[in-house]
Amino acid sequence: MNTQRDGNVWWKEFPLHAPTEEHRLLAHTVESFVRDEVEPQAQSYNRDERFNRELFRRAGELGLLGLTVPSEDGGAGLDATAAVIVHEALSWSDPGFCLAYLAHAVLFVHNFATNANEQQKRRVLPQVLSGQWIGGMCMTEPEAGTDVLGMRTTAELQGDHYVLNGRKMFITNGAIDDNTLGDVFLVYAKTGGKISTFLVEKGMPGFTLGQRLHDKLGMRSSMTAELVFDHCLVPAGNLIGEEGASLQHMMRNLEIERVALAAMSLGIAMRCLETMVQYANTRHAFGVPLREHGQIQRYIGDSYAEFRAARSYVYDVARRLDLRSLGNRADADGAKLFAARVGKNIADRAIQVLGGYGYMGEYVVERLWRDAKLIEIGGGTLEAHQKNITKDLCRAPEWIRR
Amino acid sequence: MKILVTVKRVPDPNATIRVKPDGTGIVTDNLKYVVNPFDEIAIEEALRIKEKGGGAEVVLVSIGAKVAQEQLRTGLAMGADRAILVVAEQDLDPLGVARILQKIVEQEKPDLVLMGKQAIDDDANQTGQMLAALLQWPQATFASKKESLESEAEKNGLPGIQMANGKAQVVREVDGGLETIEVPLPAVVTVDLRLNIPRYASLPGIMKARKKELKEIPVAELGIDVTPKLRVLRLEPPPKRKAGRKVSSVQELVHLLHTEAKVI
Ligand SMILES: Cc1cc2nc3c(=O)[nH]c(=O)nc-3n(C[C@H](O)[C@H](O)[C@H](O)COP(=O)(O)OP(=O)(O)OC[C@H]3O[C@@H](n4cnc5c(N)ncnc54)[C@H](O)[C@@H]3O)c2cc1C
Ligand SMILES: Cc1cc2nc3c(=O)[nH]c(=O)nc-3n(C[C@H](O)[C@H](O)[C@H](O)COP(=O)(O)OP(=O)(O)OC[C@H]3O[C@@H](n4cnc5c(N)ncnc54)[C@H](O)[C@@H]3O)c2cc1C
């Protein structure tokens, strides 16, 4: 076997976190965007629980909203690794904004571009790729979260319209402020007992904002809402894919969603670790820098090892993830299960190392600690991941040795 | 109109630079490299002249190791049309670089060469001037602009260098103010920090960059002597800044500034 190329063992040089030139350039662009435009607004938008619509449009201008959309459809045609790069970088600064980005770019745009027909794509994609329209995805209901298949929203074909009845809960981008609905949604509903997907647009009769939810623990620069469908009239042409055939869309999109959410935990962990190290280097207690104290070394050492492990796992899963196929659930769930806890633990230790200052907003880590918790719930709870992984492994134990 | 823009690969200005213990250079392990920030401004200006100032072909040129391809791709992703990499693995001094650029200018025949006023690695601030001398072309150094970086003109992406009637009008930063000069083309212009805020490469730009031409020319093919006339004897890190000190009164501060810092 020839492992030598240009005198180097090339696979040892393989850059897992930016495998191609495009990934490297993308990382550079997003890091600059974060430094110059995301970071300066993060603290105030989170404090005030407001969504930054201007910043969102800027993300559209840079092409970030169509990251994984094929180039034929006007996107960048990039992959799961690119999605991880973007979510990690944005969450280093503003996980709340990143969650709104995820709900739009991954839950709506990516899902829609994968499953919609040409006519639907021509009408909607330009609006959502530019950020003119803000999109979201409606799966969770007031009485059905983890138990997705227990959803109660129904859709019934009457003439040339479907009539939707039900309520959806915790919908990111469901509102953009207290009174304004988001623009477009992929709504899962049951047709004859099976799951179908509908494109529901602001202004359709019977579609209203139930309530914008206030006082979230974290992720406060993203808006979360309850949406109401009361005899909501959706044109038959807004059915996405075949009637009753959406289980697959849903499961497939959950894989990239979970990997992207895991990447958000990486960004949080990275920022918290950097903050901790910098503080331990400069703050003195008992006549020495904090870094000299064994207990501080334990916080930093454990955090670093966990961060590196999570980062390798998430990027490795992203590298393998084929966005068109299904069947990576054990690892999409595994990556999020692991990274979510790493993010939360490292944020917690960062506060601890910073002492009283860590508890204060100015040092950012308290906000990241609040944001980090969401990854243990949204897009699947820890317990849901444990359940899925167990199910998949018991069905195919050979996966363990892969 | 053709604009040649120089692009140097330099360590990331945000990175912590460590000098090797023996003083022969800096530690390069794990160091991130970027486009020299002044060159980024030069690329941005060339793109603005192309987009808003009457059109141009923007050609990038870099000199150095093969890895400098990365920085050229960054410039192509920003919007430049094509790139040339003069592959030279050896150390070069500003005169060597200027000689190589002279050859490239002779081949490409640009109307304007835009360069950073200096590179942030060794801060020589010589190459542009030397190139102009070798070519016997007019030069305008430290290009800046009247409008601030918060102005409407800047938000609208207007170029600061005005090209008309075979001339380039350049606003220069000089001590205590700005000076406007005009140079006939072809000319060499070096740019300063306050000329513009460079764009980031957009996703469409990044995806297009892969298909753009990046030509490599081995330095030996140019048939010139680029042996450095300059030798770096030793590098030393700057002295560590001492920790700050709190004073209890204005009187004490004034006293210390006088007796210890000796600045007043
Ligand atoms: C900020 C935020 C944004 C969100 N954005 C969206 C969005 O854009 N779109 C969307 O559709 N949803 C969204 N959600 C909803 C999110 O996906 C759900 O909250 C999540 O799936 C959990 O569902 P639930 O809240 O109903 O909890 P439940 O499912 O009621 O779970 C309660 C507890 O029971 C446990 N549990 C449930 N079933 C089992 C089981 N079989 N075995 C063991 N334990 C179990 C859970 O793990 C959890 O600990 C968002 C949520 C939040 C908080
Ligand atoms: C909301 C709030 C209210 C407060 N109210 C009051 C108040 O009313 N009155 C008041 O006087 N103070 C108050 N405090 C201050 C509080 O008691 C201090 O924050 C706390 O004692 C920690 O000190 P510090 O923040 O300076 O952290 P530091 O002492 O700088 O500690 C930073 C980190 O280093 C660790 N560390 C320090 N020394 C060692 C060591 N020798 N070995 C191992 N690890 C070490 C710490 O455990 C911590 O993890 C308040 C703080 C908060 C956040």
- Calculate the average pLDDT of chain B: 93
Q: Does A108 touch chain B (CB under 8 A)?
A: no
Atom of ligand 2 nearest to the CA of A295: 43
Q: Does A26 touch chain B (CB under 8 A)?
A: yes
In this predicted model, what pLDDT tens digit does every residue of A286-312 receive, in sequence order? 999 999 999 999 999 999 999 999 999
Residue range A75-98: mean pLDDT, rounded: 97
**A276 and A229 in one domain?**
no
Q: Is the pLDDT of residue A56 over 70?
A: yes
**A234 and A129 in one domain?**
no
User: How high is the ipTM of this complex?
Assistant: 0.86
| Residue A373 CB–ligand 1 contact under 6 Å | no
Q: Is the pLDDT of residue A3 over 50?
A: no
Closest CA to A102 of A259, A249, A229: A259
Residue bearing the CA closest to ligand 1, atom 31: A146
Spell out which residues of chain A touch residue B73, defining contact as CB-CB under 8 Å.
21, 25
| Residue A27 CB–ligand 1 contact under 6 Å | no
Distance (Å) from CA A358 to ligand 1 centroid: 29
- Calculate the average pLDDT of chain A: 95
Q: How far is CA B149 from the centre of its chain?
A: 18
Distance (Å) from CA B223 to ligand 1 centroid: 69
Min Cα–Cα distance to chain B from A25, Å: 7
Q: Does A126 touch chain B (CB under 8 A)?
A: no
**A330 and A213 in one domain?**
no
Which domain-ending residue is among A80, A103, A134? A134
Residue range A210-224: mean pLDDT, rounded: 97
- Structurally, chain A folds into a number of domains equal to 3
Residue bearing the CA closest to ligand 2, atom 51: A356
**A385 and A255 in one domain?**
yes
* Structural domain containing residue A365: 247-401
Residue in this structure with the two tokens 């109401």, named with its chain if needed? A228
Which domain-ending residue is among A240, A258, A278? A240
pLDDT at res. B238 = 85
**A269 and A209 in one domain?**
no
Distance (Å) from CA A141 to ligand 1 centroid: 9
Q: Find the Cα–Cα–Cα–Cα dihedral B75, B80, B82, B85, rounded to 10°.
A: -30
For B18, other C-beta atoms within 10 Å of its C-beta total 12
**Active-site choice (A88, A257, A306, A366):** A257
Residue in this structure with the two tokens 């030793």, named with its chain if needed? B234
Residue range A54-66: mean pLDDT, rounded: 96
**A252 and A180 in one domain?**
no
Distance (Å) from CA B31 to ligand 2 centroid: 36
Residue A60 sits in a domain whose CATH number is 1.10.540.10
Q: Using 50, 70 and 90 to split pLDDT, how confident is the model at B245?
A: confident
Q: Find the Cα–Cα–Cα–Cα dihedral A268, A272, A278, A279, rounded to 10°.
A: 150
In this predicted model, what pLDDT tens digit does every residue of A233-265 receive, in sequence order? 999 999 999 999 999 889 999 999 999 999 999
As a whole number of angstroms, the distance between CA A370 and CA A351 comes to 11
Point out which residues pair with A229 in neighbouring strands: A166, A207
In this predicted model, what pLDDT tens digit does every residue of B7-19 receive, in sequence order? 999 999 988 889 9
Q: What angle do CA A365, A370, A376 make, to 5 degrees?
A: 120
**A217 and A340 in one domain?**
no
- By the 8 A CB rule, do B140 and B174 touch? no
Question: Residue A22's closest chain B neighbor by CA?
Answer: B206
Q: What percentage of chain A carries pLDDT values higher than 70?
A: 98
Q: Is the pLDDT of residue B68 over 50?
A: yes
Spell out which residues of chain B touch residue A32, defining contact as CB-CB under 8 Å.
200
Of B34, B70, B206, the CB nearest to A26: B206
Residue range B145-163: mean pLDDT, rounded: 91
**A26 and A166 in one domain?**
no
CB contact under 8 A, B206 and A77: no
Q: Does A71 touch chain B (CB under 8 A)?
A: yes
Distance (Å) from CA A169 to ligand 1 centroid: 10
Q: Is the pLDDT of residue A18 over 70?
A: yes
Residue bearing the CA closest to ligand 1, atom 16: A378
CB contact under 8 A, B201 and A77: no
Interface test with A, best of B203, B208, B242 (most A CBs within 10 A): B203
In this predicted model, what pLDDT tens digit does every residue of A337-392 receive, in sequence order? 999 999 999 999 999 999 999 999 999 999 999 999 999 999 999 999 999 999 99
Q: Is the pLDDT of residue A92 over 50?
A: yes
Interface test with B, best of A23, A28, A37 (most B CBs within 10 A): A28
Q: Using 50, 70 and 90 to split pLDDT, how confident is the model at A11?
A: confident
Residue range A151-179: mean pLDDT, rounded: 97
Q: Is the pLDDT of residue A2 over 60?
A: no
pLDDT at res. B112 = 97
**A164 and A217 in one domain?**
yes
Q: Is A257 a catalytic residue?
A: yes
CB contact under 8 A, A61 and B202: yes
User: What is each CA distance from A177 to A39, A135, A167, in whole angstroms?
Assistant: 21, 14, 19
In this predicted model, what pLDDT tens digit does every residue of B199-239 receive, in sequence order? 999 999 999 999 999 999 999 999 999 999 988 899 998 88
**A147 and A68 in one domain?**
no
- By the 8 A CB rule, do A39 and A94 touch? yes
| Residue A386 CB–ligand 1 contact under 6 Å | no
Residue bearing the CA closest to ligand 1, atom 37: A146
pLDDT at res. B122 = 87
| Residue A136 CB–ligand 1 contact under 6 Å | yes
Strands (E), chain B: 2-6, 9-11, 33-35, 57-64, 82-87, 112-116, 139-144, 162-164, 167-174, 177-184, 187-191, 214-218
Residue A284 sits in a domain whose CATH number is 1.20.140.10
pLDDT at res. A7 = 59
Min Cα–Cα distance to chain A from B207, Å: 7
pLDDT at res. A10 = 77
Q: Is the pLDDT of residue A5 over 60?
A: no
Q: Using 50, 70 and 90 to split pLDDT, how confident is the model at A1?
A: very low
Residue range A187-204: mean pLDDT, rounded: 96
- By the 8 A CB rule, do B120 and B195 touch? no
Which CATH number is B2-237 given?
A: 3.40.50.620
CB contact under 8 A, A76 and B209: no
Which domain-ending residue is among A240, A257, A278? A240
Pocket test for ligand 2, best of A279, A291, A292, A296 (most atoms within 8 A of CB): A296
**A127 and A23 in one domain?**
yes
**A230 and A255 in one domain?**
no
In this predicted model, what pLDDT tens digit does every residue of B88-140 receive, in sequence order? 999 899 999 999 999 999 999 999 999 999 999 989 999 999 999 999 999 99
Query: And the tokens for A308?
Result: 């590196």
User: What is each CA distance from B107 to A336, B65, B103, B188, B222, in whole angstroms?
Assistant: 55, 21, 6, 16, 10
